[in-house]
Amino acid sequence: MSFASYVYILAFLPATCLGFWLIQRIKLHAALWYLTFASGVFYAYWNPRDLLIAGASVIANYFAAKALLSSKQRPRWLFVGAVAANLLALGYYKYLAFLLGLVSVELASAHSVSLPLGISFFTFTQIAYLADCRAGKIKPEQHVPRDYFLFVSFFPHLIAGPILHHSDVFRQFRGGFRDDRATKIATGIILFSIGLFKKVMIADNLSLIAKPVFSLADGGTSVSSGQAWVGAVAYAMQLYFDFSGYSDMAVASALLIGFRIPFNFDSPYRATSIIEFWRRWHMTLSRFLRDYLYIPLGGNQKGERRRFLNIFTTMLLGGIWHGAGVNFVIWGALHGLFIVVNHFWRDYVVPAMPAAGRSRYLGIPGYILTMACVLLGWVFFRAETVSGAFMLTTRLFWLPQMSFEGSPATTSELSLILAACLIATTLPNSRQVHDHLLSGNLAQHWRIMGMAAGVLFAVAFVAISPDSPFLYFQF
């Protein structure tokens, strides 16, 4: 079931919250197992077969972590073997058909398998946990079935993140969820309403603008520069409001049960550099890539050339993690290149500038260049063919190919795109709203915030469509 569905809003979430709060009054241990069971029901609703795959992964990784923690040496071979088994499972379901397709389309079709929902997220969560076990960041007494199974399967983050770290939730499992319960529930209702509105009223309507443009390009039909710009900007905003809307509802769902999980976004379209963009976009993935890829590769400890190579490799692998396709490889490579250039500029060029003149190169020009790079990357991220992505790119940025003949969009479509841009770049984001309310300001603003949330929820609730999955479900 999707967060933006009637069965989730009217049945699953209320039943889960009510059941948990009632059971925890009797026995905390039973309440946490109840949440694990509810998370299994949530996941199995999509496809019961996927529950068997995810369950096998969780059980296997639990015993692998237990074996690591049981040994004082925490042998490298055991850790490498466990990580390799996770990556092989991920590779089989996610990348086998793609790799076979490089050899033969018929061979790929014969060996195609359906992708278990959220496999990238629960696999990476468990790899990070294994790495922390080997590094001694988890004590043997902390590794108990109840906490581990709930940590991995907790339904708000299970399908598409945020990617949890054990430190985010383990303390809360021991009763921390009871703190500020009323404030958390009220904040959760407000955030859920905001997220639902983002998804249903903004992202879903933007998809109707972006999809035809990319379909034409992928089908080999030429589009004008005006159409390309409309389609690319519409998709950039669609992806942001879709995924940030999902993340808002994930954080809100956890708050309604009493748990706090990390935010994934902090107004990324306000960034003035690509480095800053990745500190604001999909922040839990950025944290994972930094801690479990970039730093193990050597980080910045082995010289500048190696540092730049590590940055590029990390982003390239991050692109491949998103999907099996040449376009994702290009997208990851582009962002790796962008970040390397940004670091070189920041470390070597900016210090040589006169201090009085730096702002003119780091303010508005930096913002425009950052958004151009982000938009270029999203074209490859969204397009289903390399040829379609390159055709759109030439229409966007190659002056000799630019043509603005014809009307690229209706007035209402352009108004929606403009409104989405203004919301994303000027209004307080969900993280700021969350922090403001939980800092003790809910009491003085609850009437205004409650009424606004009620309006957003009511408008979005009646517009829910069963044929509108979240974009990041495919990863």
pLDDT tens, position by position, 353-374: 777 666 666 678 899 999 999 9
Q: How far is CA 121 from the centre of its chain?
A: 9
Question: Which has the minimum average pLDDT: 285-294, 437-446, 458-467?
Answer: 437-446
- 322 in catalytic set: yes
pLDDT in the model for residue 198 = 96
Pick the catalytic residue from 143, 157, 282, 322: 322
Instruction: State pLDDT tens for residues 314-350.
Output: 999 999 988 888 999 999 999 999 999 999 988 888 8
Orientation angle between helical segments 204-218 and 225-257, nearest 10 degrees? 140
Instruction: Evaluate whether 430 touches 436 at the Cβ level (below 8 Å).
Output: no
Examine the pLDDT at 192 and tell me if it is beyond 80: yes
| N-term to C-term CA, the chain | 17
- CA gyration radius for the chain? 23
DSSP 44: H
What number is the average pLDDT over the span 274-283?
Answer: 96
Query: Which residue's entry shows tokens 């290009």?
Result: 330
Instruction: State pLDDT tens for residues 384-393.
Output: 999 999 999 9
Query: Which residue's entry shows tokens 């496999």?
Result: 119
Instruction: Evaluate whether 119 touches 94 at the Cβ level (below 8 Å).
Output: yes
What number is the average pLDDT over the span 265-281?
Answer: 96
DSSP 219: T
DSSP 114: P
What residues have CB less than 8 Å from 271, skipping those under 6 apart?
Answer: 277, 279, 280, 367, 370
